[in-house]
């Protein structure tokens, strides 16, 4: 491990806004029965110093630039960026600390452990920004799959919203199919966020706040897709099985050799 990473990891320990629980702690009762962290249900008091406001998550936040900019624009809300890479989170935590942002926190953990950290109704919105589309892997690894929606239901408010922003048409169409087969309301969608015909009612931040990779894709002339939907429902979630709902082979082929870099 390089000296720069070691330096960042050491400095991470000093950031009050960064929570770094050990995997051993979460898995002490096994993968099927995760151990709740003491912060679960208590983020406002323990991590935001009593700062009031709804809680918004960005899952797979990388260096946290999206989380930080949303927090700057919306001081009445509290934002939490989640990622497993400590060297990435160092940048976000250092910036939040330097700017004295009271409504920003970061959580270093695997997203599949997310239910150990948030209580029922504790979260109002989730942002999935340039998530790995998992083109060749099991669909259960996709952050908009039935498996993950079931996890989110444990802590998302019934009226809560998921925002999906991605360069992957495969992931966009898959998520749309998941929403449709489960009867989930799609509030807004576009296959070209910065093109003509994009819904005008979208909040300005959807276009104006960009990740590093989003800016890179735009410079390459690649379209960015966006979807906003309400994921909460009663009963089990379903993954699309009928090719008429989602033709995975077709969309995988159309994706071509290009892949999402947002998780790098």
How do 156-166 and 123-129 pair as beta strands? parallel
Beta-carbon count within 10 A of 207 CB:
15
Catalytic residue among 36, 76, 132, 150: 132
Alpha carbons 113 and 34: distance in angstroms, whole number: 7
> Is 113:83 a contact under the CB 8 Å cutoff?
no
CA trace torsion 36, 37, 39, 42 (10° rounding): 10
Residues 6 or more apart in contact with residue 37 via CB below 8 angstroms: 19, 21, 25, 26, 116, 117
Active site residue 150: no
Element (H, E) at 251: helix 248-255
| CA 35 to chain CA centroid, nearest Å | 22
Residue 56 β-bridge partners = 79, 125
Long-range contacts from 237-240, C-beta under 8 angstroms, 24+ separation = 237/146, 237/147, 237/149, 237/150, 237/178, 237/182, 238/146, 238/178, 238/181, 238/182, 239/139, 239/145, 239/146, 239/178, 239/181, 240/174, 240/177, 240/178, 240/180, 240/181
Contact 255, 225 (CB under 8 A): no
User: Active-site residues: which are they?
Assistant: 132
């Amino acid at each position: 491990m390089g000296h720069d990473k070691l330096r960042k990891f050491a400095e991470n320990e000093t950031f009050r806004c960064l929570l770094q629980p050990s995997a051993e702690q979460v898995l002490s009762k096994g993968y099927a029965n995760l151990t709740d962290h003491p912060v679960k249900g208590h983020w406002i008091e323990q991590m935001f110093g009593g700062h009031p406001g709804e809680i918004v998550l960005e899952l797979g936040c990388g260096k946290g630039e999206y989380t930080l900019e949303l927090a700057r624009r919306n001081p009445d809300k509290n934002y939490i960026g989640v990622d497993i890479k400590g060297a990435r989170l160092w940048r976000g935590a250092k910036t939040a600390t330097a700017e004295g942002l009271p409504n920003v926190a970061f959580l270093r953990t695997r997203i599949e452990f997310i239910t150990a950290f948030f209580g029922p109704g504790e979260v109002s919105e989730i942002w999935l920004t340039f998530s790995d589309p998992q083109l060749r892997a099991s669909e259960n690894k996709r952050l908009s799959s039935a498996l993950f929606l079931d996890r989110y239901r444990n802590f998302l408010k019934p009226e809560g919203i998921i925002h999906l922003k991605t360069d992957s048409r495969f992931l966009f169409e898959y998520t749309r199919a998941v929403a449709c087969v489960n009867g989930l309301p799609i509030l807004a969608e576009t296959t070209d966020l910065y093109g003509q015909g994009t819904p005008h009612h979208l909040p300005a931040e959807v276009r104006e706040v960009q990740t590093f990779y989003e800016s890179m894709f735009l410079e390459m002339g690649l379209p960015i897709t966006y979807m906003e939907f309400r994921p909460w429902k009663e009963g089990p979630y379903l993954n699309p099985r009928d090719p008429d709902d989602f033709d995975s082979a077709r969309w995988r082929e159309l994706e071509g050799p290009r892949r999402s870099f947002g998780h790098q």
